[in-house]
Structure 1
Amino acid sequence: MAHAWFRIVMVVFCVSMACSVTTADDSVVAQAEKLELAGDFVGAEKLLDAALAKEGLDAETKYALTFERDRLDRIRQDFELTQVDLEAKVLAGVKDATPDEFAKWLEEGRFDAREIDGQLLYMNSGVRNLFYRDSSLEPRRNVPKDESDVQHLRLNLTRQIRAAVKEQKTPYVLPRKFDVQFTGTVKADAVPEGSVIKAWLPVPRDFPFQRGMTLVSTSPQPIEVAPGDSPIRSVYFEQKATAGEPTIFQTHFTYEHDSIRFDIDPAVVTPFDGNDKEVARFVEEGPHVEFTPELIALSKEIVGDETNPAIQARKIYDWMSQNINYSLAIEYSTIRNVSDYCRANRYGDCGQEALLYIALCRVNGIPARWQSGWNMFPGRLNLHDWSEIYLAPYGWVPVDVCYGITATQNMHFLTKSEQQEVADFYFGGLEPYRMAANSDHAQKLTPAKLSPRSDTIDFQRAEYEVDGTNIYYDKFSYDFDVEEIPPATTTTSKETNSRK
């Protein structure tokens, strides 16, 4: 496919977006944002610190200023490589790469970068994103990925699901049961000794296709378990920190998840009439789903004069499968408008792709919402985000545009027709290897977290705070083990600190 080469991301973060914070100190936030975009992070920090030092700040203003201050540190953690560092990684990671070739890629803007306090710094995942954004480089990985078995397993599973749906005449088939142990570890001395760490760990939400979450054991004892219909389901803990020792939180649970496949007939689909208020809110604008002039123009380019919601949604899916590249992400909390970020750059990770898909559906009046948690496909255990769209008379239908993109662009061990077969499946289908903790994005935890979340959109890696201050990713880790039961031959996977 043609590539729109990947611009340096100095302005794309938020230059076209008004700041979402509305407080008495909005002018301070706006000034700090201008300094940040100009690369003056130290100046922005001084401005925000001075504002935070004022007496009598209300809670909303303090929260907004604290988030803006934290956000600068978060951006720094995503962009740590100098040009020298980046070149060394490229020459080591790309077979037969030369300094001249690196210089050419640099000139083409293939590496995300930020100007930070007088230094141009590059995103930590720059080398891996070379391969994701340009599949022609795949043979030049110094450590090749073994994808053949996984890709053929996925193809065969989608065929089994289709056959079962046809035979059983229901979209929910071939259930799988899972045994999961999740461990969240706040690093030793990350917080003062004796302080109480508050922790929220993700667990499965109730859906028509996901049920029966049972807590087998926890450590420590939980204080609260969010209800099954929570849009962001967690188990809440509190535990004192001990000097020199990590603080560990653990959940052990089981649950069941169906395979899903809706065979959508556009001829029977009708536009959403707006009468169901619970569904109607998912056609509205919201955080990271803004109907910008650029989004509207792209929608018209993709959808044209089509009015059937099923065909519109499929046109959007197909366009994204062919025109958006998968890319490892900068942290969502550092981006003002995630769907616009993905639109503008023509790349994103699974969540950024999902939000762009949701935004394009909503601007066409198609209810669309976020769904996320973990992808537990054998050999590919990871964090993952996808979406659902509402199509009458079918109801909520899954759409995983990330796998449409992956199948179309990266499943090179399959034939073209097999790639298309997999891509077709994920418009209306999911395999059972999922744990969905969220039914919407940018939702509030239960009980409420006082400090800005580490991930302001998603909830997969857990959240922590102490004395009203967030504990960010550099101060904790996570780890989970998943066992599929029963079938007689179980599959065990392990994942540690991977994004999506």
Structure 2
Amino acid sequence: MNHRSTTAFLVISALLLLLAAGCTATPQDTKTLDASGPSPADEAYTRGVVEYADANYRIAEERFGEAYALYTDAGDLDKARTARDAMFRANRTYIEYPLNRSAAEAALREKIPGITDESIADWLDNRAQKIVSEDETLYFYDVAGNYLYAHFDDMRKQNERSLDFDYVARYAWSENRSGEAGPYVNPVHYAGVERLEVPHEALPSSGVLKIWFPLPVETDSQRNVTVTNLSCPEYIVAGPFTTGAIGYVYYEIPAGAVNGDLVLSADIAFTSYEQIFRGIDPAKVGEYDTSDPEYRLYTRSERNIDITDAVREKAREIVGNETNPHLQAQMIYYHIIETYPYSHVPHFSIDARGPKVAESTHMFETGHGDCGTQSMLFSAFCRSLGIPARAIGGYQTIMGETPGAHFWAEYYLPGYGWVPNDPTAAEAADWVVLPDEKRSAFKDYYAANLDPARLVIQKNVDAPMKPALPEGAAIFRIVRQYPAIVSDTADYDIDLFSMMDCFTIDIAAVDQ
């Protein structure tokens, strides 16, 4: 089918959907029309569907915006929300790709002094993350930073004076384990405040603000979690939850009840333990109970940890003839840090585009991935071999005092429990000049151990919440280190806006 025929087919299909189907919050679907036929709003929406399918994302955003305005003027608020969410989705698809070819080249020259034209061309043609919209190739915003992550010599030059690696490695290189047996040792007590502040001018004037506010959750390595002084308790609908798969509290706040800026905060405290699993004896690893619901949960595909045939085949290739789950997981860990260098990735676009591609699959197929995708691909490889594994989400202060959003991984061994590793932390040793033995020791530490400079929010990506985050309205649904804000009446992407600079976590180690 040629391009013109494809477009005509999509137009007809979209019109048929308009006549026959109910509405959902995705650009591919539409709502039932009156018997009089398509309205101008319906036609604008259908054009948006076609433009999106033809990878004209910026034009699609405009068409959905037109439909949103027309539906709003007509008083059809259900269709208006559908068009608005489709507009958001189109924007999220391309917003992380702001650079054309000349701008991408300029970014590389500015970030990497002395880079050659040949290196630039090779990176942009063969390695860089890009998207095509309106037949124009657009490049990921951190095209230059990702070049550095893939070229250690250049990265080391830039980090020579800016990264205090002795501080980063303070746990990995420590000789003092306090003499405790483990695996949970050297507790650190933390206390602090989480705070969401959305300026008044960014709030809708009506409707209800639905907010999923993250909280620390109890785990084997994070204990004694307390949450106090939660703001606006009269608007809490569910929670606070600090046990289970994910920590959060859910609010429904009438926009009219907010005087001035919207401020939500919580005082939090918890104890984080260093995890030391160096003493695992592969011969003492027990047998899995394959009928256990948790085993089945963590060995199946999920939205962003996908066990494809290709992943299954590659995992078997990585482990070869090895059958012990601990040794298999260790082989996968080293494969990740040696084969899939860290890089920033377009999470918004990955989550928005259809058909949906799992984050683990994105890294497997493109070679690009950050802490989240590295941990998810590790988990996908393990799961494909029948080893329960998951990607843990939260914050870390291993790089400095300011908490940074982070993901790492765990795999389960009968007789030992959940064994942690952190491929991204391990790879940081490649970004600085180090003696080989120190670099190896650092990577070996993070193969089955973990520092206590952590705050856990969710035990796995895609951890469910009740009520669930609505498809289309909430951005970056897999990661809930940040609050999610959904409004039926906001005419701009308030959830995206709130992720930028509206949420802070301030924690520090305290004496007890």
- Asked if Structure 1 and Structure 2 have the same fold, meaning a TM-score greater than 0.5 normalized by the shorter chain, the answer is yes
Of stretches 354-363 and 300-309 in structure 1, the one that deviates more from structure 2 is: 300-309
Aligned to 2:28: 29
Equivalent residue letter for 1:169? A
- CA distance in structure 2 between the partners assigned to 1:287 and 1:162 by the alignment: 41
Query: Equivalences for 1:276-425 in 2 at 5 Å?
Result: 276-331=292-347, 332-334=350-352, 336-377=357-398, 379=400, 381-407=403-429, 409-410=430-431, 412-425=432-445
Q: Deviation per CA, 1:162-197: give whole Å up to 9, x if none.
A: 734xx2212011111112222222244333225432
Indicate the residue corresponding to 1:237 in structure 2.
251
Bigger CA radius of gyration: 2
Give 1:220 deviation, angstroms.
3.3
Instruction: Determine if contact 1:288/1:355 at 8 Å carries over to the other structure.
Output: yes
Structure 2, unpaired ranges of 5+: 1-20, 30-45
Checking the alignment, whether the CA contact within 8 Å between 2:128 and 2:143 is kept in structure 1 is yes
Partners of 2:86 and 2:204 lie apart in 1 by 24
Q: Is the aligned partner of 1:157 residue 2:190?
A: no
User: What is the rounded CA distance, in whole Å, between the counterparts of 1:49 and 1:308 in structure 2?
Assistant: 58
Q: Secondary structure at the match of 1:361?
A: helix
Q: Name 1:258's counterpart in structure 2.
A: 273
Task: Give the aligned residue type for 1:134.
Answer: H
Pair 346,168 (structure 1): closer, same or farther in 2 beyond 3 Å: same
| Partner in structure 2 of residue 172 of structure 1 | 184
Return 31-40 or 442-451, whichever deviates more. Answer: 31-40
2:134 pairs with 73, 95, 117, which one?
117
Aligned equivalents of 1:119, 1:400: Cα separation in 2: 37
How far the C-alpha of 1:35 sits from its partner, in A, is 5.5
Deviation readout 1:229-287 (Å, 9 max, x if unpaired): 23121123344557995422222211111111112211111342313222332111221
Q: Percent identity?
A: 23
Amino acid of the residue matched to residue 394 of structure 1? Answer: Y
Q: Residue 246 of structure 2 aligns to which amino acid in structure 1?
A: I
- Is the aligned partner of 1:217 residue 2:229? yes
Change (3 A) 1:256 1:64: farther
Q: State the alpha-carbon separation in 1 of the partners of residues 199 and 344 from structure 2.
A: 25
Select 1:131's aligned residue among 140, 148, 154: 148
Match for residue 91 of structure 2? 73
Is the 2:277–2:448 Cα contact (8 Å) retained in structure 1? yes
Q: 1:285-308: per-residue Cα shift (whole Å, max 9, x none)?
A: 221222222212211221112111
> 1:377 offset after TM fit, Å?
2.0
AA aligned to 1:84 is S
Q: What CA deviation, in whole Å up to 9, does each residue of 1:366-402 have, x standing for no partner?
A: 0112211101225163100112111111011112222
State the shift of 1:209 in Å.
Answer: 1.6
Q: CA deviation at 1:444?
A: 2.9
2:505 counterpart residue number: 480
Letter in 2 for 1:255: F
Partners of 2:151 and 2:180 lie apart in 1 by 41
* Equivalent in the alignment of 1:93: 111
Whether contact under 8 Å (1:399, 1:429) holds in the other structure is yes
* Partners of 1:95 and 1:140 within 8 A in 2: no
Secondary structure in 2 matching 1:29? coil
TM-score (norm 2): 0.78
Aligned counterpart for 1:439 among listed residues 459, 472, 492: 459
2:217 corresponds to 1:205: yes
Distance in 1 between residues matched to 2:433 and 2:403, nearest whole Å: 20
- Higher share in helix: 2
Counterparts in 2 of 1:168 and 1:33: CA distance versus 1, 3 Å = farther
How far apart, CA to CA, are the structure 2 residues paired with 1:64 and 1:427? 45
- Cα distance, 1:144 vs structure 2: 6.0
Contact 1:318 1:404 in 2 (8 A): no
Specify whether residues 194 and 70 from structure 1 end up closer, same or farther in structure 2 by C-alpha distance, changes over 3 A only. Answer: closer
Contact 2:27 2:86 in 1 (8 A): no
TM-score by length of structure 1 reads: 0.80
Aligned length: 454
Contact 1:161 1:261 in 2 (8 A): no
Structure 1: 5+ residue runs without aligned partners?
A: 1-22, 488-500
1:215 counterpart SS class: strand
Paired residue for 1:454? 475
What is the identity, as a one-letter code, of the residue corresponding to 1:183?
Answer: R
Q: For 1:449 and 1:300, how far apart are their aligned partners in 2? A: 35
Task: Name the aligned partner's letter for residue 483 of structure 2.
Answer: A
What one-letter code is carried by the residue in structure 2 that aligns with 1:226?
P
Q: C-alpha separation between the residues in 2 aligned to 1:291 and 1:139?
A: 35
